[in-house]
Amino acid sequence: MTKSAFQNAMAQLEKAADILKLDTKSRARLSEPIRVVKVAIPVTMDNGQVKEFSGFRSQYNNARGPFKGGIRYHANVTEDEVKALSFWMTMKCAAVGLPLGGGKGGVIVNPKELSVGELERLSRGYIQKMYQYIGPDKDVPAPDVYTTPQIMGWMLDEYEKLVGHHAPGTITGKPLSLGGSAGRGFSTAQGGVYVLEEALKKLGKKPSATTVAIQGFGNAGSHAARILAELGCKIMAISDSKGAIKSNIPLDIKALEAHKEKTGSVVGFVATEEINNAELLEAEVDVLVPAALENQITESNAASIKAKIVAELANGPTTPEADEILFKHNVLLIPDILTNAGGVTVSYFEQVQNAANYYWTEEEVLTKLEKIMVTAFTAIWKVKEKHQIDMRTAAFVVAVDKVAQAMKDRGWV
């Protein structure tokens, strides 16, 4: 029986807690979110009818700072999923040393079925129901699956109308015109590439001699493909929600982006062969980058993964059972709470810039991002070596230790 995302998250917590010999009270505090808000959002559709959408916000732990995490628009959003994602956000912020807690939001909707007007009314409606629970010092949302800087702009505008003053630090991932940070649009991918470069060094491999398959060609996946290609890596296979392709020669990412823009999918790109999702995950490449949704690498396919490195740009793409199999097969898995922490790190930079009303160049942002990502990778690698454990468990050991210490210092446990 497939475990839920939250059950997977709790299995990861227990593994790290056992290594740390964490006390019972701390385990209990980390086993449930502080608060889950559920709301019904009535939206007047273009045809004049009112449709109700279900929205969630899980605020997991704020011992280290305000809750922080994205809002996703997806037909499969569930309370269980946002709880798991908010736990992972708590761990992610701690793993890379940010003074933030973890939260996550979602609305059950297929945004592709909504007009621009309906999307705006839904986004404003979400904030109307949630605004009392968020704010620069409480909980700072950001974009996630199928949410964009424009949606964040609408949400910020609605929040500021309701509170009666400017508060740009309430929401990150905003357009630059509203106080967004330079580099935020591709920061998740860029942070992932920084840690992947460190992993390649550990394995004595040069980017120019590295082949890559990427699952997902959304924000994170497409930027990762572009940045890795610029580094000299050879992108041999790629997928999106419509299908997957592979090639015998490295893909031309700029031409592929133009093809997707024109046709709506990577499928049918010149000189490629269409493959299925399973074939993409099991491709004969050095590096596999899951950049789509959770539970993609499981007990049933983990032993067939041929890549030597799995760099998780998506949240929760690998199940705990698959982790064990990959570790036994000497596959180096760089976990999501490290690999995709570039997004929340630049969101943190955005908050800092908003609070100071002073803005940095893209070069300054990327310099600061690289330092944080490399420092976090090095610290987690040391824990991995010390305990002879996999990278994910090492990342959770680092993160759980930091959150537990903050709870202890606050007198919560």
- Count CB atoms within 10 A of the CB of residue 186: 21
Beta strand 332-334 with 50-61 is unpaired
Report d(CA 176, CA 182) in Å as an integer. 7
- The pair phi, psi for residue 55, each rounded to 5°, is -125, 155
Q: Indicate if 408 belongs to the active site.
A: no
CA distance 332 to 25: 33
Identify the three-state secondary structure at position 61. strand
In terms of C-beta density within 10 A (0-12 exposed, 13-18 middle, 19 or more buried), how is residue 116 classed?
A: exposed
The tokens for 372 are 């944080």
Task: Please state the length of the chain.
Answer: 413
Determine how many CB atoms are found less than 10 A away from the CB of residue 207.
Answer: 20
* Adjacent-strand bridge partners of 246: 237, 273
Of the residues 15, 92, 104, 308, which is catalytic? Answer: 104
Beta partners for residue 69, in sequence order: 141
CA distance 228 to 250: 11
Q: In angstroms, how far is CA 329 from the centroid of its own chain?
A: 26
Distance CA 97, CA 375 (A): 9
Residues with a catalytic annotation lie at 104
